[in-house]
A and B are shown apart, each in its own frame.
Chain A
Amino acid sequence: MPIRLNLDRMLLERRMTLTELAERVDLTLANLSILKTNKARAIRFSTLEALCRELKCQPADLLEYVSEPSTSDEGRG
C-alpha cells in the first residue's frame, strides 16, 4: 500500500506505547496494530482525528505517500 502511517515513529517521539495510545484513542490493540503494520486498507477521519489529538501532531506527520517501484524504467522520475 503506497500510503503509510508512521505510527511507530510518532510513538517513539512522544514516548508512548501502543497500549497507552490504544486506550487514549479508544481503539482495540488489534486494530491499532493493523494501522501500525500498514495492513489497514482505509482509515476513518474520526480515527485520524483521535490519533492527531493524542499524538499532538498533524495528519501530514502521520501519513506518507511512498510510490511503489514500477517494473519498467519509464515509471522512474
Chain B
Amino acid sequence: MTAKRTLTRREMLGRTAGALGAATFPYVITSSALARPGRPGANDRIITGHIGVGGMGGHHLNGLRENAAAVCDVDANHLKHAVEVTGGRATPYKDFRRLLERKDIDAIVIAAPDHWHGLMTVYACQAGFDVYCEKPASKTIAEGRAMVTAARRYGRVVQIGSQGRSTEAAYYSARYIQNGQLGQVRRVACWHYPNPVGGTKPDCDPPPTLDWDLWLGPARWVPYNPDRCHFNFRWLLDFGGGQIRDRGAHVFSVVLWCLDPEIAGPVRVEATGNAPREGLWDCPVEMDIRYQFKDPDWELIWSQPGDKAADAGFGAVYYGDKGKLIVTGGDGGCGTEEKARLYEPPAGGKEPFRSPGHWTNFADCIRTRRRPIMDIEAGHRVATLCIIGNIAYRLGRPLQWDAVSERFVGDEEANRWLGNPGRGPWHV
C-alpha cells in the first residue's frame, strides 16, 4: 500500500479532524458556536445528499440547503420543491441508487418512510457514505442488525435522528440519574396520547407524480391510498407502526441514554391494546407495553394514554429508590425538572457526553470518525423496543426476548416476524 493516492473530499475532511470542530450545518450551529476559533470555512462544508425530502426530510433540507448537492424522492412534487429550496443547485433523482453513485457527496440524509431506512442505510454504507437516518432506525430486527453490520464493516458514521439525546434536558437528566440521585431506578413509565382513528378514503390509482411501486419498495405490495402514503403511513402497523415507533423512538432513546447507553435489551415484553374499529389505520388506539429488564431488574412501561405526569403530550417518569424524575418530550422538545438542571455532580462523578447538537455531533464525527451520540447500535436497540412491543401486541401474548441473539425464546412463530423478506430487488 505504498502507492500515492489522491485524497477524496471525505478523506480531506477527516484529515483536518483534530483542528476542526463541528460542521457547517447552518440550522444547528448557534452564533456563539460559529464564533469559536477553528471553525471550518465554506470550503470545508460537508456536502449532503438527501433521500426523502417531504415532511421531516424537507425540514432537514431547509436547514442544509447550502450543503445539499443532490435530492431524491419518489414524489415529483417533493422533488421539484426540494430543488427550489436549494436555489436550483441540487441535482434531483427519483432512484436513490443513482444518487449513491455520486462521488462528490460526504453524507447521506435519509428521511424516507420507515420501511426504507434499513435498505437505504445499508446501501449507503456499502457505497462509502456516512449516514444521518431518521428515526426509528429500522422496521425490523433483521434490518436494524444489518444497518449496524454495514456501518461497522465499512467504518461509516451512522447517526439516527432521535435528537432528544442531544438536548440539554437529556444531558441534565442523564447526569442526575447516573450520579445516583434517584437511587436504583426500578421503573420508567412513559405516557403518550393515543393513536388516531382514521383512514376513510378508498384505495385508488396513485397520482401521476408519484411512483407508488418505488414508494413501497421492500414492503408488501398494497394498493395506493392517500391514507397510507405520505405522513399517514405511520398509523399502519405494516409501515410506520404508530406512536410507539414515531415518538417511542424518541422517549426510549432518552430512557436508555439516562439509565445506561449500554443496556442490551429486555428479557420479556407484554403488550395489550385496543384496535380501531373503523378505518384503514390499524395501530391500536390505546396500548400498554411492559418491558422487563434483568441485572439490574427494572421495567419500562409504554402507555397510551398512560398517566400524564406533566403538561406535555408525552414523556416519562423515572422511579427510583430515592425519588422520581419527570422528563417531558424526548424529541427536540425535551424537558426536565429543575432539580436535575441545577444538580451539580461531585468531582469524580459521572459526566455523560454533552452533545453540541444532534447535527453538529454528526458532523463532528464525520471528521473524527468517532461514534455519534445516537450511533446506529443505539438506534437499533431503541428501535428493537418499539418493534418487539408491536410484535407482542400483534401476537397477543407475552414474549421472552434474548437480546444477545436478538430472537424470541421458545416462540418460533414470533421469530418469523423479525425480518421482512422484501419485495423484488429490495431486501437486506
Report whether chain A binds chain B.
no
Q: Which residues of B contact A (CB under 8 A)?
A: none
Q: Mark A residues whose CB is within 8 Å of B.
A: none
